Amino acid sequence: MHNEFKLAGPQTELSSYPQWAQDMVADCDSTKRSVIEHPLWGSMIDGTLGKTGVTHFMVGIWPVIERFPAYMAQSLLKTRFGRSDGDNLARRWLVRNIRVEQNHAEYWVNWAEGAGIPREQLLHGLAPYGTETLANWCEEVSKTDTLAAGIAATNYAVEGATGEWSQLLFQSTRYAERFPEKGRAGTLRWLQLHAAYDDTHPWEALEIVCTLLGTKPSADEVVHIGECIKRSYTSMRLLADRCIEPNRVFEVLSEAAA
């Protein structure tokens, strides 16, 4: 087909992708920055987040960590071998990486325990009110939307932003030193993997999205994919807000009631 996309340049350079994708990524950048530049990461590094905030972070994100292989499995169900280059590329990539994501759940549990959150609370406790938006959105888009939208919202947007905030924490000696030296490497294994592993993962996801949509998708398709990406970033920011201001939801509800 005339509008088929084939990666011609370096995978990790935005100029290698169709113009519509470059424009979409630029349009989403300010929403992404609201996640990467959120004060939550500074509070975690300098130790001012507090026990409630740490709990909201670890327990609030846990449903996303635990369910991430399932989100990818939902995307896999939408593929058909031989239907298109995009389907074939997505199928191979999803099958290969679902097992990788599965291992990350245990690493998150180790990090949470190191931060003082008991395994039992993480696995069986209720997610703090106001932190469920991201998990609900990832479930919805992966199950009910298109293959391209699901991969863009989860593997590109969520993993891409996560890779960047993970680097902020992992590269901070100040943050690392908050954990006992004995066992520190195991405690921070999740951070280590995401600070490096996810550096190329979102680019691979973007290549899949572009291969699925081609060089000339409809304007409506592009707008929709961009909205899905922004919604992922916004959901991440809302979760971060809930961690940094754990009582804010209740304050807003009280103000509305008054």
Q: What is the CA radius of gyration of the chain?
A: 19
C-alpha torsion angle, residues 222, 132, 160, 189 (rounded to 10) = -160
Position 245 scores a pLDDT of 80
Q: Given this model, what pLDDT does residue 129 score?
A: 84
Tokens linked to 204: 């691979």
pLDDT in tens, 164-194: 999 999 999 999 999 999 999 999 999 999 8
Q: What is the pLDDT of residues 35-84, one digit of tens each?
A: 999 999 999 999 999 999 999 999 999 999 999 999 999 999 999 887 88
Q: At 253, is the pLDDT very low, low, confident or very high (cuts 50, 70, 90)?
A: very low
- Residue 254: pLDDT over 60: no
Determine if the pTM surpasses 0.85. Answer: yes
Where do the structural domains in the chain lie, given as residue ranges? 26-246
The per-residue pLDDT of the chain, averaged, comes to 91
What's the CATH architecture for 26-246?
A: Up-down Bundle (1.20)
